[in-house]
Chains A and B, each alone.
Chain A
Amino acid sequence: MSNAAWFQETFSRIQSELAKVIVGQEEIVRNVLVGLAANGHVLLEGMPGLGKTLTVRSLAQCLSLNFSRIQFTPDMMPADVTGTNIFVQTPEGGRNFEFRHGPIFANIVLADEINRATPKTQSALLEAMQERSVTIGGKRMQLDEPFLVMATQNPIEQEGTYSLPEAQLDRFFFKLLVPDPTKADLAEVVKRTTGTIEPQVQPVATKEEILRMRHVAREVPIAESVLDFGLNLIVATRPNESKVPAVQKYLRYGSSPRGAQCLVTAARIFALLDGRFNVSKEDLKQASLPVLRHRIGLNFEAEADSITQDKIISDVILGVERQDRDPIRV
């Protein structure tokens, strides 16, 4: 079996297993798995009770990975996330400092309601997310691979929350908006969760397979012109360089270079999932919304006009597509 076929097969295997417990939300599940395959963290935004936590936990279960959940609250301290050295008495009667691992030391970390934590605590995640390591008391500790942070936040409750700083947001590979389930999905959810039989997720993939998936995804080739298209999407989000009127009017800042990296990586995976061996512009467009929506900053005018990031990104895609014309005009 070729790498690409294996990738697709593994991906669909995990997806199918998750579908046993997650009703609807196929897009969210798929994108979460893309984030996993891309070695990227995912920010899930949605109302409570939409299955965000269940999704993450189920994912950990079907991958046979360590899972930990951190419920962020305003009084939470960084040490509550990373762990801390505690003073312990050894059996021999001696006294010593012993490091007690925080919940960050897991393969899949669910950072629930991340925006409830203070910036100080939020920033405790920064190093872990980017460097895959934690430094405590001058000692740097490497996190186990694969390491995936799945953060959730509630878009409605703003009281007592702290918006994530741009640097923090930029470290998330995807930001996924969890939609309300349809009536049919809702009926299925009710049936499954109120009956006597509770579906169980079985491990269907190993840690090694996840790491291999990451490797395979990075080998998907991308043509210069396609890459150029992707970079045009990124550049078009910069208010001072963009030719898209909505960007000039409603954005404070555009995507960072990390956005470009994430865009191309995600597009590679989308290409493989589509059964192709090359990245297309369609893949880039498909990746644009989850990759860029948290990387662009709306200004006050946009807030006033109820303009969303998704709307701006759609305009950006249209603008870039308009410039990308067929070179043969016949």
Chain B
Amino acid sequence: MSRGRLVFPSRLLLANLFVGGGLYLALLVVIACIALGIGTWGDLTSSVWEKAMQFPRWYALFVGVYLIRMFLPVYIAHGRTRRAFAGQAALFLLVFAPVLAVLMTLGYVLEGWLYGVGGWPHALSDEHLFAATGDLPLVFVEHWAHFMVWLAAGALLGAAFYRLGAGGVLLIPVAVALAVPLQSTVGAPRLIPLVSGRLALPLPETTGMVVLTAAGAFLVALLLTWAFVRDMPIRNPA
């Protein structure tokens, strides 16, 4: 095995792409069925894909949690250091977030084609960085930003729960706080259940601010995750 192959977390990425790809295809089919159902028997006036975007974010959070919960022990058990894992994990998140964003953007394209065939209006019902479903660069940027934050917040929660057990709940407000600035810049306060509407910050809703808040939250989340991971004992699986 070459050292170069180890630097890029190819297996980590492929393993997650394999699972994520399957879930994505399932989501596409489900959304297509729902859209066709509403279009055929009801009144389809806006994007169903847009409404479903909650699920990929929770999936991203889950991937972040499992990155620590499942893969960190595997890496340590195979003789990798926490530092080496942290580097690979950060690189993985940096690559995985845009990959997911591309898939979500592609979802809008496919849905747009379906709506075009059915003659339905492919409109948005929530506030976004992008004004129309065809504004693909901004569709990508908004989803990339969300995935960066949710993946990193998941890693933070994974580390907190792994290290503190039930005490990990104390880090949930921190994870929410990391997502709030981005939510505020995107202008869609409903994306985190219950709380974010009340916590929205008066930030400019610009592309630059979206990128900045996403990158900032990502960095803070990773630094906090490292604080937990740097000397974290590996639990006995039994």
Instruction: Decide whether A and B are members of one complex.
Output: no
Binding site for B on A (CB under 8 A): none
